A and B are shown apart, each in its own frame.
Chain A
């Protein structure tokens, strides 16, 4: 709307003291947007990428601080499109500040936080609150989604126009689906007038019932109530019909099975503004990992069968997954150290996002730029953000990565305030050595930590 010109989401990062020009030489430059993968150098000045290319491999501009990358990968910092924190309301689980430190250590330079807080982010003043808290306390870029229905109750839509103007990058019903089809239709229809993106958790709540894990043999053996993937498929099928009816913009937040993917694929082929994401958990874990009732692997949607996981990996390799998210969801021991069915859903994941994703690269399943695309430039474009690219003039949100460095996850060393990592004690290959936000180093790997 012309009188309601959507502002490009303002960068909300804590002010840092400006650093001088820095030249990164002898790097392996990987830019997922342009498929660049070549030895070269990159010059950062005034917080943006001033220059890059093969010619800068050994030549640093005069007066610049020189960083020798020793052939390691320099690529855009990750854009994580689904992060839950506990601020406001559950600060004992995670604050924007602690989440941002966890993000920086994991190579995430931009994160989009979800509206599932207390109070719910469903008003302009709360969007403003998140932006101010992020500006004052966080060390990476933080943007917020706003609730699509008031109080996430799924009954009345929020002030989508005013919230978007205030800087909400998308609208979501958080961890729940909008069960009322008419409300969802109206949100898509009304949101269309403002170009609003609706990001939806897709699970029919009535069919999912009180299920605790994927329905199937493992649930049967464990004696746990199951959640059929049909609950997800039905919701996505419904939503796609509504998108077709309304012309709205829609993103299925985290799909988990090939049937869902098939619906998205057909919707895209019909020219609908439909995209989908998948969580890192569903690319690297399956229901068998739950083992003997490990509640850190209790997530929504539930971990599926190995076939489903393999299909999701294949979809990433084919470029059919638009975003890979950590779905970072810090939960404390009080709500996790319980019988499986009674334990909270959610897994911490910011700090392990890149390392876990690199498993797909090391296994040979997914090429490097293909893997990085849904982690960087795709979400940046989808949510209208400037980062995620190695490009002259782009913000110097960068990570330097040793793709091969082996390490073992120790949940007690993670920076998140909550330690519910499903990857505790897992072997990883690939580590973030340095993270830059707007040209400023916000994380540097110190061996021993």
Chain B
């Protein structure tokens, strides 16, 4: 599979995947095509297991995660890698080690790929400068979450057959969202029309500079959308006075049938998870046929396999591969 991918004119020649900002259309197409094939082949397919055989894959998650970490672990294992999950809570990090020292220590163990999630924007890039292996950003603060945007793009492309020309409304806590930022990059690059919907208190400064349309009125923002992407609202936002209450937030910015009726009849409903039912999305909509939230999780593994495969092509050849 990896060999056939190399034959394509499209390619991916980066050592790391830190951001979606500079990804080009051929690069994204390449990753999505690869992921598409992964999604269609049975997970038990044995030949895939050669791609990362003998490679060491470290999941370094400074923030707790269920789906992203599990998804990367599964993807790496299906490609035959040796996977190590660093438990930050019980590691030297909790003893006060700096991020750079952690990077240097891990590098000494000569891993091939490190997947990092960190609560500070820019932390993953900092770490990538201190190691010799490939680094994948699995979320850094409110900055980037590239694999999420790619799996969202794949989900949309598989459901709609295209991304270009679609109107995608991203609604919720844009201010704190790395998912939104990565999605804006990928969707804009692929030619979608992106709208951001949020109360002004949950919008960053100058959002329109990202090349999007901005709405503070969800009824207007969702009008005619092909895709409605809901973001998680953390309950801490209530205490910090970004929004007054769950009740008010759901009333004005929660996805219910009344608001969804303004989107196109065949609009996709997406959510990166974990969902707060009754806060940003009505329970019945989460389970509606228009919802592709489960497909997103499924595409997560396929996309992460594709990213790992693409990066593996650029790794130095291992001297010996034990069979």
Contacts and interface: CB of A to CB of B under 8 A. Distances in A.
B46 interface: no
B244 A160 contact: yes
A237 interface: no
Contacts of A425: none
A150 B241 CA distance: 10
Nearest to B262: A3
B244 A157 contact: yes
Nearest to A160: B244
A246 B200 contact: yes
A367 interface: no
A265 interface: no
B258 interface: yes
Interface of A: 1-4, 150, 155-162, 182-183, 186-187, 189-190, 192-193, 246
A191 to B, nearest CB: 9
Contacts of A193: 199-200, 216-217
A161 B199 CA distance: 11
Contacts of A190: 199-201, 242-244
B239 interface: yes
A2 B201 contact: no
Contacts of B244: 150, 156-161, 190
Interface stretch (B64-72, B81-89, B116-124, B245-253): B245-253
Contacts, number: 58
Nearest to A190: B201
Given A4-B251, A183-B241, A189 B217 contact: no
Nearest to B238: A156
A2 B219 contact: yes
23 contacts: A2-B217, A2-B219, A3-B219, A157-B241, A158-B244, A160-B248, A161-B244, A161-B251, A161-B252, A162-B247, A162-B251, A183-B241, A186-B201, A186-B241, A186-B242, A189-B200, A189-B201, A190-B200, A190-B242, A192-B200, A193-B199, A193-B200, A246-B200
Interface in B240-289: 241-245, 247-248, 251-252, 258-259
B168 interface: no
Contacts of B247: 159, 162
Given A2-B220, A3-B219, A182 B241 contact: yes
Contacts of B219: 1-3
Contacts of A158: 244
Contacts of B220: 2
B241 A155 contact: yes
Chain B contact residues: helix, strand, loop or mixed: helix
Given A3-B218, A189-B201, A190-B242, 11 more contacts: A1-B217, A1-B218, A1-B219, A1-B252, A3-B217, A157-B244, A158-B244, A159-B245, A190-B200, A190-B243, A193-B200
Closest 6 CB pairs of A and B: A3-B219, A159-B248, A193-B216, A159-B244, A189-B200, A1-B217
Contacts of B251: 4, 161-162
A188 B135 CA distance: 42
Nearest to A4: B252
Interface string B199-241: 1110000000000000011111000000000000000001101
Contacts of B248: 159-162
Contacts of B218: 1, 3
A156 B239 contact: yes
Contacts of A182: 241
A113 to B, nearest CB: 21
Contacts of A160: 244, 248
Most buried by B among A1, A2, A190: A190
Most buried by B among A2, A150, A161: A161
Nearest to B242: A186
A190 to B, nearest CB: 5
A157 B245 CA distance: 9
Nearest to A149: B241
Contacts of B200: 189-190, 192-193, 246
Contacts of B243: 190
A242 to B, nearest CB: 13
A4 B244 CA distance: 16
A55 B254 CA distance: 58
A182 B241 CA distance: 9
Nearest to B258: A3
Contacts of B239: 156
A248 B201 CA distance: 12
A190 B199 CA distance: 6
Contacts of B259: 3
Contacts of A161: 244, 248, 251-252
Contacts of A1: 216-219, 252
Contacts of A159: 244-245, 247-248
A195 to B, nearest CB: 11
B70 to A, nearest CB: 36
Contacts of A157: 241, 244
A71 B219 CA distance: 55
A309 B245 CA distance: 42
A3 B254 CA distance: 12
Nearest to B205: A245
Contacts of B245: 159
Contacts of A246: 200
A248 to B, nearest CB: 9
Contacts of B241: 155-157, 182-183, 186-187
Contacts of A187: 241
Most buried by B among A150, A192, A193: A193
A15 B21 CA distance: 64
A110 B14 CA distance: 70
A186 B252 CA distance: 17
A182 B199 CA distance: 16
A159 B251 CA distance: 10
